């Protein structure tokens, strides 16, 4: 593995050993087979991977947005492997969203939210945790309660009829309006 790291001053350094230093961005070049690299085989011999945030967060996003959908929709994949992949994705999601003793929701936690289902799961998981600040826990419970009804509306959107989609839009507007009107906890984070 060759690690290329960009520093805050926009200089790039190369390393043959991986380092866990927090940097602005990294690119990893991974040689897949022990053969000499040539102009003809470089595209099939080198795997390129990027790392923009923490390794855990990057792994979660890669599994969730790239490898998970590709492998879980593969009909020839063994059912046990699909189960393991789903469990890995759920475990990574929980680890990325973990904020032990947190008093506020951090950008790192919300960076893993890329779909409505992620949003619903985030507030639900946060509301059920006992190791967060009392005010944050109350806030999470209120938001989770207001958003829980949307889970069914957003599951399998591609299978819904047009009238079901209109209903989902109406339900979403009502739920988000209810969330925005909550006054007894800190406002819903808008980013």
CB atoms within 10 A of CB 86: 14
Question: Region 159-182: what's the mean pLDDT?
Answer: 87
Q: Which of 171, 97, 105 is nearest to 140 (CA)?
A: 105
- pLDDT, one tens digit per residue, over 30-88 is 999 999 999 999 999 999 988 877 788 788 888 888 888 888 777 788 878 877 887 88
Distance CA 79, CA 64 (A): 18
β-partners of residue 31 are 46
Q: Check residues 95 and 99 and name the one with the higher pLDDT.
A: 95
CB atoms within 10 A of CB 60: 24
Q: Are 179 and 146 in contact (CB under 8 A)?
A: yes
Distance, CA of 151 to chain centre: 17
- pLDDT, one tens digit per residue, over 100-141 is 445 566 666 676 677 787 788 788 888 877 777 788 888 888
């Amino acid at each position: 593995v060759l690690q290329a790291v960009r520093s805050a001053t926009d200089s790039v350094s190369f390393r043959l050993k991986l380092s866990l230093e927090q940097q602005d961005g990294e690119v990893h070049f991974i040689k897949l087979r022990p053969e000499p690299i040539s102009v003809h085989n470089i595209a099939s011999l080198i795997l390129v991977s990027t790392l923009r945030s923490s390794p855990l967060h990057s792994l979660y996003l890669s599994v969730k947005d790239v490898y998970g959908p590709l492998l879980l929709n593969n009909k020839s994949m063994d059912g046990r492997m699909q189960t393991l992949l789903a469990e890995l994705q759920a475990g990574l999601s929980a680890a990325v969203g973990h904020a032990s003793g947190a008093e506020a929701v951090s950008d790192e936690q919300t960076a893993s939210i890329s779909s409505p289902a992620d949003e619903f799961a985030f507030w639900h998981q946060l509301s059920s945790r006992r190791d967060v600040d009392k005010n944050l826990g109350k806030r999470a419970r209120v938001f989770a309660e207001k958003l829980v009804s949307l889970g069914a509306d957003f599951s399998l959107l591609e299978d819904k009829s047009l009238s079901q989609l209109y209903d989902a839009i109406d339900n979403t507007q009502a739920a988000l309006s209810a969330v925005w009107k909550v006054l007894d906890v800190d406002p819903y984070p808008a980013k």
